[in-house]
């Protein structure tokens, strides 16, 4: 990309274009990205949809009065590889020029609304600058996660060297497109003890698996089950926005599940899996047979094992109820967070505005040390200290003391006693796979479910995805790893669904993670475990930096703050299969005072 994104000069604007009937038909096909998706039966064979089986997709041109067409620039206004945000009628579009062709798409990422013009254009897709979601510029389809929806694709035509874009009001205002999906036509739906696909876990992996099956035309019964009392929700927001109510966190409204025939069993704990008879047993004795099974139970937070661990007002954060309770109790009082990892630090940051005091207790010398290294950890620690957070480092909790059953003090091994009315424990998690111990599904020594690149377990027809698995990481020589990230759980859920339909998909995404504290976001891509050096460009004091984590000669991960879109650029390069050498980074740091990143992609930033 070149460095100039100057505001385009509108050439002319024409609203209320009447489209001929045949033109509208064409546009509907391209807007959905496919003509007629295949529909899979339970036995894995494909058949075609009947028209009435498809949910009516919103028509991109519902009426002439709701359409806008405008010439938005001259063909020479954009260089190849350049993107621009352009006003059009009721909204904006993202205009992209790639290989001499123009594309017009939704301009905001459907995940959290990042401006995609600030993202990375590469290999026919645009990658979001905030958390790395990727969209195909030809179709607008979501190709890599996080998030569930795709972008609208608008019609472009070139006339007399001018670029015209045509779009509907609805699409311009919505800025997101849910892919065309099948709905359930199974007669047994909702009232039978057998299902075709059973998904244990309604988190990111489980939901994406169910949606992918429907997107691919699967029209048999799908049942998702969860320990929660809620429909799938945005778990990462729990520790960043502890006040958020379950309905604000929902990933999809209940009408969505009804419309596409995805059944969700809430407060439904699976206690046994009988793979011989293809059956699961729930805690209340209910049994459900399946034909294909996805295990996506995520993880359970570790608790303290010290004296007094049973006192009241000590929490881990897994559900909206946990998070809401913590803020309620912390308001105007003393909060202690145990563990200075991502979850603990996000909670500590959030509570500074609510609590009288916030203290963090951590075994290591600096927060995030193992993940981000000493220098970055120290810079972030300073940001917390500047916001009134007190740290107790290189120590651990020896006792939780109560008054009338409620937490009053946290006693540390260093003998220090910290006043506390509420305590949040963020010391890691273990895979929630206890219910599989008696099954013949393999677990490793730490309780993870090992899967191959297709997310298959050792038992045919049983797949696993998300925080509970170890899998071969393609771009790190297929090293078996566990990557508990929101984006990774989405990607694995999709691959599992594709392989349930015998599509032979493999997991190949580059891990992407983010955290947010005091209004600042830290982004991270790659897999940095075992890094032996960290090269930093920028200003740690100002919290405007990029850190490259290297092992030997190779960059294995990158983290940044206020340095977008470098993490997305690195993720894109790694995803393309190109290794980034330590030497390249050293030269960048030596010579680049401007923050120019063209060395990464061979194009201007």
Ligand X SMILES: Cc1cc2nc3c(=O)[nH]c(=O)nc-3n(C[C@H](O)[C@H](O)[C@H](O)COP(=O)(O)OP(=O)(O)OC[C@H]3O[C@@H](n4cnc5c(N)ncnc54)[C@H](O)[C@@H]3O)c2cc1C
Q: Which tokens is 11 given?
A: 């050439």
**Is residue 236 a contact point for ligand X (CB under 6 A)?**
yes
Q: How many CB atoms lie within 10 A of CB 374?
A: 14
Strands 101-105, 91-98: pairing kind? antiparallel
Q: Which is nearer to ligand FES, 132 or 339 (CB)?
A: 132
Query: Does residue number 112 form part of the binding site for ligand FES (CB under 6 A)?
Result: yes
120 binds ligand X (CB under 6 A): no
User: What does 269 bind: ligand FES, ligand X, none (CB cut-off 5 to 8 Å by kind)?
Assistant: ligand X
**Which residue's entry shows tokens 């979501």?**
142
For residues 230 and 476, give the distance between their C-alpha atoms in angstroms, rounded to a whole number. Answer: 37
Residue 130: name its binding partner from ligand X, ligand FES, none (Cβ under 5 to 8 Å by kind). Answer: ligand FES
What is the smallest separation between the CB atom of 586 and ligand X, expressed in angstroms? 29
106-114, 193-201, 218-226, 538-546 -> range binding ligand FES (CB under 6 A): 106-114
Q: Is 507 a residue that touches ligand X (CB under 6 A)?
A: no
| Two structure tokens written together for 14 | 């024409």
Binding residue for ligand X, selected from 270, 340, 441, 555, defined by CB under 6 A: 270
- 521 contributes a contact to ligand X by CB under 6 A: no
Interface of this chain with ligand X, residues 307 to 326, rule: CB under 6 A: 317-318
125 part of the interface to ligand X, by CB under 6 A: no
Q: Which of 1, 109, 304, 556 touches ligand FES by CB under 6 A? A: 109
Asked if 146 touches ligand FES (CB under 6 A), the answer is yes
Q: Count of residues binding ligand X (CB under 6 A)?
A: 36
Selection from ligand X, ligand FES, none that 104 binds (CB < 5 to 8 A by kind) is none
Residues 460-499 that bind ligand X (CB under 6 A): 466-467, 484-487, 489
Q: What is the dihedral of CA 523, 526, 529, 533, to 10 degrees?
A: -80
Q: Are the C-beta atoms of residues 463 and 499 closer than 8 Å to each other?
A: yes
Scanning residues 428 to 457, which ones bind ligand X (CB under 6 A)? 432, 435
Distance CA(215)–CA(210), nearest Å, equals: 9
Residues 360, 348: contact at Cβ < 8 Å? Answer: yes
Contact with ligand FES (CB under 6 A) among 70, 83, 96, 128: 128
Show the site string, 181-200: x = touches ligand X by CB under 6 A, - = not.
-------------------x
Residue ranges of the alpha helices (H) in 119-203?
169-174
Which range, of 105-113, 173-181, 282-290, 355-363, touches ligand FES by CB under 6 A? Answer: 105-113
Using CB atoms within 10 Å of the CB of residue 480, give its burial: 0 to 12 exposed, 13 to 18 middle, 19+ buried: middle
| CA 246 from centre of chain | 18
Rg (Cα) of the chain, in Å, rounded? 25
203 forms part of the interface with ligand X (CB under 6 A):
yes
525 binds ligand FES (CB under 6 A): no
Give residues 331-370 in contact with ligand X (rule: CB under 6 A).
343
- Selected binder of ligand FES within 97, 103, 125, 131 (CB under 6 A): 131
Options 227, 397, 422, 522; binder of ligand X; rule CB under 6 A: 227
Q: Does 119 bind ligand X (CB under 6 A)?
A: no
Distance CA 427, CA 301 (A): 8
Structure tokens at 419: 């006043």
Judged by CB under 6 A, does residue 252 bind ligand X?
no
- Closer of 109 and 547 to ligand FES (Cβ): 109
From the list ligand X, ligand FES, none, partner contacted by residue 198 (C-beta under 5 to 8 A by kind): none
DSSP string, 401-430: EEETTEEEEEEETTS-EEE-SEEEE-S-EE
Helix (H) or strand (E) holding 31: helix 21-32
Burial class (CB in 10 A: 0-12, 13-18, 19+), 518: middle
CA distances from 250 to 37, 235, 300, 315, 443 (A): 27, 9, 21, 22, 31
Rounded to whole angstroms, the Cα distance separating 345 from 384 reads 9
Strand order in the sheet with 197-200: 262-265, 222-225, 197-200, 292-295, 462-464
- 377 interacts with ligand X by CB under 6 A: no
Report whether 510 contacts 475 (CB < 8 A). Answer: yes
Among 82, 515, 550, 568, binds ligand X (CB under 6 A): 515
Query: Is residue 67 within the footprint of ligand X (CB under 6 A)?
Result: no
Is residue 588 part of the contact set for ligand X (CB under 6 A)? no
Binding site for ligand FES (CB under 6 A): 109, 111-112, 114, 128, 130-133, 146-147
Binding site for ligand X (CB under 6 A): 200-206, 225-228, 235-236, 238-239, 268-270, 296-298, 317-318, 343, 432, 435, 466-467, 484-487, 489, 513-515
């Amino acid at each position: 990309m070149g460095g100039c994104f100057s505001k385009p000069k509108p050439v002319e604007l024409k609203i209320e274009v009447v489209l001929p009937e045949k033109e509208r038909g064409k546009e509907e096909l391209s807007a959905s990205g496919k003509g007629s998706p295949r529909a899979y039966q339970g036995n894995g064979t494909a058949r075609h949809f009947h028209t009435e089986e498809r949910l009516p997709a919103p028509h991109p041109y519902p009426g002439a009065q709701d359409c806008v067409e405008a010439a938005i620039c001259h063909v020479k206004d954009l260089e190849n590889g350049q993107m621009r945000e352009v006003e059009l009628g009721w909204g904006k579009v993202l205009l992209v020029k790639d290989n001499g062709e123009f594309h017009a798409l939704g301009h905001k990422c459907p995940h959290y609304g990042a401006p995609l013009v600030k993202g990375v254009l590469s290999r026919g897709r645009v990658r979001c600058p905030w958390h790395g979601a990727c969209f195909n510029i030809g179709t607008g389809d979501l190709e890599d996660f996080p998030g569930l929806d795709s972008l609208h694709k608008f019609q472009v035509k070139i006339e007399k060297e001018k670029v015209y874009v045509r779009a509907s009001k609805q699409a311009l205002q919505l800025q997101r497109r849910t892919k065309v999906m099948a709905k359930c036509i199974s007669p047994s739906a909702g009232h039978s003890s057998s299902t075709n696909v059973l998904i244990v876990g309604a988190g990111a992996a489980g939901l994406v698996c169910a949606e992918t099956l429907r997107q691919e035309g699967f029209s048999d019964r799908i049942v998702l089950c969860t320990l929660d009392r809620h429909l799938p929700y945005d778990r990462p927001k729990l520790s960043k926005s502890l006040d958020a109510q379950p309905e604000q966190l929902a990933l999809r409204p209940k009408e969505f599940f009804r419309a596409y025939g995805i059944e969700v069993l809430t407060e439904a704990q699976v206690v046994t899996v009988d793979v011989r008879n293809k059956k699961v047993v729930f805690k209340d004795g209910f049994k459900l047979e399946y034909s294909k099974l996805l295990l996506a139970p995520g993880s359970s937070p570790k608790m303290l094992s010290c004296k007094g661990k049973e006192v009241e007002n000590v929490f881990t954060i897994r559900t909206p109820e946990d998070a809401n309770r913590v803020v309620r109790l912390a308001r105007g009082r003393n909060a202690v967070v145990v563990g200075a990892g991502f979850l603990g630090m996000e909670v500590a940051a959030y509570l500074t505005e609510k609590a009288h005091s916030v203290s963090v207790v951590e075994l290591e010398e600096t927060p995030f040390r193992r993940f981000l290294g000493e220098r970055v950890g120290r810079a972030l620690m300073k940001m917390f200290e500047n916001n009134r957070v007190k740290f107790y480092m290189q120590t651990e909790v020896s006792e939780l003391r109560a008054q009338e059953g409620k937490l009053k003090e946290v006693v540390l091994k260093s003998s220090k006693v910290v006043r506390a009315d509420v305590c949040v424990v963020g010391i890691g998690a273990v895979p929630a796979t206890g219910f599989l111990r008696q099954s013949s599904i393999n677990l490793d020594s730490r309780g993870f479910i090992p899967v191959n690149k297709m997310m298959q377990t050792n038992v045919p027809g049983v797949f696993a995805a998300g925080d509970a698995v170890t899998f071969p990481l393609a771009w790190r020589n297929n090293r078996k790893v566990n990557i508990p990230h929101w984006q990774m759980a989405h990607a694995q859920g999709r691959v599992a669904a594709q392989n349930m339909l015998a599509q032979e998909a493999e997991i190949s995404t580059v891990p992407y993670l983010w955290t947010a504290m005091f209004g600042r976001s830290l982004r991270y891509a790659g897999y940095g475990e075992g890094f032996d050096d960290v090269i930093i460009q920028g200003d740690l004091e100002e919290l405007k930096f990029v850190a490259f984590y290297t092992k030997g000669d190779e960059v294995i991960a990158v983290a940044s703050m206020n340095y977008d879109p470098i993490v997305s650029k690195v993720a894109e390069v790694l995803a393309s299969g190109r290794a980034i050498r330590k030497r390249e980074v050293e030269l960048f740091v030596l010579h680049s005072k401007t923050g120019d990143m063209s060395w990464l992609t061979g194009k201007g930033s």
